[in-house]
Amino acid sequence: MADLQHAIEDLFHAYEEIWNSQDLARLKELWDEDDPTPFYLAEEQNDWKFGWEALERYWVPNPGKRALDSIMMAYHDFHVKQISPDLALCACWVRHDMKMRGPCKPTGGDARVMCVLRKKPAGWRFIAYAEGPLSPALYVMKLYEQNVSPEFAAFNARVVEARKRE
């Protein structure tokens, strides 16, 4: 199982490297190109992308024109489950930071990922991939948690300690 875990993590790190290279047309290299109907759901998209034409149009919507200044992806916290000799599931997290072209400010966020992978002679390859954003309540709570003043932890510890002495 450790070999499978490492192989899947290596695949994701290669995927991350392609995203971070900004050469998004190369993402297809890590998919099972023999699969006629790959599935893809990005967290910011309204609906699934089915098939190569839809995936390629998502990755590179206007060949020769860039909508993004840059995008940075980082995958982590991998949980892998082999479901047959040539199929595996992976659940993990992705962190994305991006800057759209123009006057927009950079944005970023975290999403959950679930994917199905197939073992090919060249290694494991994606056949289905879905990102799931946090629910609005969880997302807002996370924003509040990230907005805590740096000095609050020490302040809170002093108050709690003082109450113990009462």
Residues 116 and 139 in one domain: no
Residues 58 and 117 in one domain: yes
Q: What is the pLDDT of residue 27?
A: 97
How many CA atoms within 13 Å lie on the side-chain side of 33?
Answer: 8
Q: What is the pLDDT of residue 49?
A: 97
Q: What is the pLDDT of residue 73?
A: 96
Q: What is the pLDDT of residue 62?
A: 87
Residues 128 and 146 in one domain: no
Query: Which parts of the chain register pLDDT below 50?
Result: none
Sign of CA pseudo-dihedral 3, 28, 23, 72 = negative
- In the chain, what percentage of residues exceed pLDDT 70? 99
**What is the chain's alpha carbon radius of gyration, rounded to the nearest angstrom?**
20
Residue 81 DSSP SS3: strand
Q: Which residues of 7-25 are buried (b: 16+ CB within 10 A; e: fewer)?
A: ebbebbeebbebbeeeebe
Q: Of how many residues is the chain composed?
A: 166
Q: What is the pLDDT of residue 68?
A: 87
Ramachandran angles phi, psi of 144, nearest 5° = -65, -40
Residues 128 and 149 in one domain: no
Residues 81 and 157 in one domain: no
Domain range spanning residue 150?
135-166
Q: What is the pLDDT of residue 1?
A: 66
Number of domains in the chain: 2
